[in-house]
A and B are shown apart, each in its own frame.
Chain A
Amino acid sequence: MKNSREIDEIIERYCFGELTPEELRIFEQWLENDPQLSASVNDFLSLKDAFENYRERLALKKKIEQIHEEVEYDLFNAPAPLKVVKSGKSSRVIFGKERSYFSIAAAVSVFLLSAVSLSLWIFGSGSSKNQNAYRELRREVEKIKKNQKEIIKGINADDVKGDLKQFTGTGFAITKDGYVLTSYHVVQDAKQIYLSNEAVGQLQAEVVYSDKALDLAMLKVKEDSFPGFKEIPFSIKKSISDPGEKVFTLGFPREDLVFGDGSISSYTGYEGDTTAYQISIPVNPGNSGGPLFDNQGNLIGIISGKNESAEGASFAVKSKWINDYINSRNDQNNILLPTNKFLVGVDRASQIKRIKDVVFMVRVFN
Chain B
Amino acid sequence: MNQVQPVAEIQVLELLQAGDDKTLKIVYRQNYQTVVSFILNNGGSLQEAKDTYQETIIVFCEKLKQDGFELNCSIKTFLYSIGRRLWLKQLKRKSRFTTEELNDSEDYLPIEEDKTDEREEQFYAMNQALEQLGEPCRSILKDFYINGNSMEEITQKFGYTNADNAKNQKYKCLKRLKKSFFEVFNNGIVTNEELQRD
Residues of A within 8 A of B174 (CB): 8, 47
Q: A9-B171, A54-B122, A67-B21 are in contact. Are A61 and B6 (CB under 8 A)?
A: no
- A13 on the interface (CB 8 Å rule)? no
Q: A50-B125, A82-B7 are in contact. Are A93 and B23 (CB under 8 A)?
A: yes
Would A51 and B29 count as touching, CB distance under 8 A?
Answer: no
Would B7 and A83 count as touching, CB distance under 8 A?
Answer: yes
A50-69 vs B, CB cutoff 8 Å, 1 = contact: the mask equals 11011101101101110110
A-side interface size class: 35 or more
Q: Which of A47, A63, A71, A130 contacts B1 (CB 8 A)?
A: A130
- A81 on the interface (CB 8 Å rule)? yes
Would A47 and B4 count as touching, CB distance under 8 A?
Answer: no
Residues of A within 8 A of B22 (CB): 93, 95
B-side interface size class: 35 or more
Report the minimal beta-carbon distance from A84 to chain B, rounded to whole angstroms: 4
**Cα separation A50 to B54 with both chains bound (whole Å):** 19
Q: A9-B171, A55-B146, A64-B57 are in contact. Are A82 and B122 (CB under 8 A)?
A: no
Cβ < 8 Å to A, chain B residues 93-126: 119, 122-123, 125-126
- B161 on the interface (CB 8 Å rule)? no
Would A82 and B6 count as touching, CB distance under 8 A?
Answer: yes
- A43 on the interface (CB 8 Å rule)? yes
Would A79 and B7 count as touching, CB distance under 8 A?
Answer: no
Binding site secondary structure of chain A: helix
Report the minimal beta-carbon distance from B178 to chain A, rounded to whole angstroms: 6
Would A91 and B7 count as touching, CB distance under 8 A?
Answer: yes
Residues of A within 8 A of B29 (CB): 71, 74-75, 79, 95-96
Residues of A within 8 A of B171 (CB): 5, 8-9
- A86 on the interface (CB 8 Å rule)? yes
Residues of B within 8 A of A61 (CB): 54, 58
Q: In the complex, how many residue pairs between chain A and chain B have their CB atoms under 8 Å apart?
A: 113
Residues of B within 8 A of A211 (CB): none
- B24 on the interface (CB 8 Å rule)? yes
Residues of B within 8 A of A50 (CB): 122-123, 125-126, 181, 185
Would A85 and B54 count as touching, CB distance under 8 A?
Answer: no
- B168 on the interface (CB 8 Å rule)? yes
- A111 on the interface (CB 8 Å rule)? no
A and B contact pairs by CB, cutoff 8 A, 23 listed: A5-B168, A43-B182, A49-B122, A54-B123, A54-B126, A54-B127, A55-B146, A57-B123, A64-B28, A64-B57, A68-B50, A70-B25, A71-B32, A79-B30, A84-B5, A84-B6, A84-B7, A84-B11, A85-B3, A93-B15, A95-B22, A96-B26, A100-B1
Residues of A within 8 A of B (CB): 5, 8-9, 43, 46-51, 53-55, 57-58, 60-61, 63-65, 67-68, 70-71, 74-75, 79-87, 91, 93, 95-96, 100, 102, 128, 130
Known contacts A71-B25, A82-B26; 6 additional CB pairs below 8 A are A5-B171, A9-B171, A54-B146, A67-B24, A82-B30, A95-B25
A-B pairs, top 8 by smallest CB distance, nearest first, are A84-B7, A71-B29, A51-B145, A85-B2, A54-B126, A79-B30, A50-B122, A57-B123
